[in-house]
Structure 1
Amino acid sequence: MAEIKDGIATKRILLIDDDELTVNALAQRLERRGYQTMVLTNPANVMETLAREKFDIVLLDMVMPKVGGLEVLLSIRKVYNKTQLPVIIVTILNDSTEMSSAFSAGVNDYLAKPFSIDAGIERIKAHINSCELQREQLKLRELEVVRAMVVTYNHEFNNAVGIAKVELDLLKTKITDPDSLNRLDRALARITEIVQKISDAGKSSEISFANYVNDIKMVKIKN
């Protein structure tokens, strides 16, 4: 879990590079700027590490002798999309074909070696913030759909209960036993109370989401 400092969660960066000296130096510089880092010099262990640890972003060296950066990136993207886990490749390559392959594989951005720590941090911050915003927007959209479905189900429920209430009212005319009538009256009163509570709870949602449901036409009720 991310460390909390002054009420703010410290961002965690996974650094993947087989050059231990270089990657540790970068990790130290990032930590001096307030980030938490984890160094992985064996890229073959990346998926095991990601399954065990949570990171906000990955800095991935493109050129590694045993397992190349592109292969590592493809493995990551099989599990995490660009919004769930942003990846920035770090490379000395100036090959447009290689870079095109990296972007096709799902890299978010790249840093060309050598780069200044300030430039690197600006890219890191930009992608962490952008992905966090996209994830929040996705959650809000999902919540909108759920609430719209609640409104729709509420309407269906009210209709069904309304029909049942009418039938029970008719049934009262055929019951002569006082105790049975009393129990039925209490049941009808309870049904009325429940319907009113559901109706009151759904009114604000109906106002907020009626247009949303009509516009996207995606909420369907399965019988």
Structure 2
Amino acid sequence: MDLTIQNPRPRPDRGATTRLLVIDDDPAMVRFVELFLEPEGFQVIGALSGAEGIEQARLRSPDAVLLDLILPDMEGWEVLRALKARPETSGVPVVVVSARTGPEDRMRSLDLGADDLVAKPFDIRELQARIASAVSRVRQQALQTEAEKITTLRRVVASVSHEVNNPLAAILMCAEALERKHPDDPDVVKKSRTIQSNVLRIRDILKKLERIRAVVSKPYVAGERILEIDDVEEEP
């Protein structure tokens, strides 16, 4: 297959939408994919060995991986196994490309977690469609999983709110009663207002959690992450 391209199409002025890691020991193949897919909204990252591909996947967080089975330092299946074993790359869709596309090769690739297998030589438009389909499936699965998590979280929060609101109401009533009993004591009034303010704040947080639509995991302290409310429904 001649991979020489004399006049590649000009790249449109738009941002890349899909970060694609190409793990192939042939620089011409990487360049071929880059020249044809970058104008279609792909950001292509090349890796010429299995070890480099695994490291690039860890560092660059690709949306998809295009993986050749024949590599200079290890078999592509070893790379696939390593990618699926790491939490940070296990969910990345992998499309295997190889001249080895017999039933056993296909079965082994799929058993190890590949999303698709394309035979070399391939049609670049078919390859683009296969990658887009794999990315779309993974994104849809992620959205569904996220929606299920949010639904579960909202149910838990609703249950907690029901249990917490009664003691909060009692605390609020006691603080108000204390203020009414000692209206001329500034220290009592100040502390009562502080209690009331914090009770109302807790109620507001619970209401927001009941309307939550998305959460984001962000770094908190060394080795720990915290879930932060990213989006809530507008209060009716």
- TM-score by length of structure 2 reads 0.68
Kindly tell me the number of residue pairs found equivalent between the two proteins: 201
Contact kept, 8 Å, 1:82 with 1:107, in 2: the verdict is no
Which has more helix, going by share of residues? 1
Shift of 1:27: 2.4
Does 2:126 align with 1:111?
A: no
Mark the CA change 1:19 to 1:196 in structure 2 (over 3 Å): closer, same or farther: closer
SS in 2 for 1:13: strand
Shift of 1:109: 0.6
Please list, as runs of the form range in 1=range in 2, the aligned pairs for 1:153-172 lying within 5 A after superposition: 153-164=160-171
Distance in structure 2 (CA, Å) of the matches to 1:13 and 1:178:
68
Q: Which amino acid aligns with 1:158?
A: N
Q: Which residue of 1 aligns with 2:192?
A: 187
Please list, as runs of the form range in 1=range in 2, the aligned pairs for 1:59-208 lying within 5 A after superposition: 59-80=66-87, 84-164=91-171, 179=184, 183=188, 187=192, 191=196, 194=199, 198=203, 202=207, 205=210
Distance in structure 1 (CA, Å) of the matches to 2:160 and 2:167:
10
Q: Which residue of 2 aligns with 1:214?
A: none
Contact kept, 8 Å, 2:49 with 2:72, in 1: the verdict is no
Mark the CA change 1:5 to 1:128 in structure 2 (over 3 Å): closer, same or farther: farther
| Largest Rg, 1 or 2 | 1
- TM-score by length of structure 1 reads 0.71
Contact kept, 8 Å, 1:154 with 1:199, in 2: the verdict is no
Contact kept, 8 Å, 1:57 with 1:87, in 2: the verdict is yes
Mark the CA change 1:182 to 1:73 in structure 2 (over 3 Å): closer, same or farther: closer
Q: Percent identity?
A: 25
SS in 2 for 1:90: strand
Q: Which amino acid aligns with 1:64?
A: L
Shift of 1:61: 0.4
Distance in structure 1 (CA, Å) of the matches to 2:96 and 2:16:
24
Distance in structure 2 (CA, Å) of the matches to 1:75 and 1:42:
13
SS in 1 for 2:62: coil
Mark the CA change 1:5 to 1:57 in structure 2 (over 3 Å): closer, same or farther: farther
Shift of 1:15: 0.6
Distance in structure 1 (CA, Å) of the matches to 2:63 and 2:153:
27
Mark the CA change 1:158 to 1:180 in structure 2 (over 3 Å): closer, same or farther: farther
Distance in structure 2 (CA, Å) of the matches to 1:78 and 1:200:
38
Distance in structure 2 (CA, Å) of the matches to 1:170 and 1:33:
68
Contact kept, 8 Å, 2:25 with 2:47, in 1: the verdict is yes
Mark the CA change 1:86 to 1:193 in structure 2 (over 3 Å): closer, same or farther: closer
Structure 1, unmatched stretches of 5+, are: 207-223
SS in 2 for 1:88: strand
Shift of 1:50: 1.8
Structure with more contact order per residue of length (Cα contacts < 8 Å, sep ≥ 6): 1
Which has more strand, going by share of residues? 2
* RMSD over aligned Cα atoms: 3.7
Distance in structure 1 (CA, Å) of the matches to 2:164 and 2:187:
25
Contact kept, 8 Å, 1:84 with 1:135, in 2: the verdict is no
Distance in structure 2 (CA, Å) of the matches to 1:32 and 1:5:
9
1:12-63 CA distance string (max 9 Å, x none): 1111111222332232222243322111112112222122212111000012
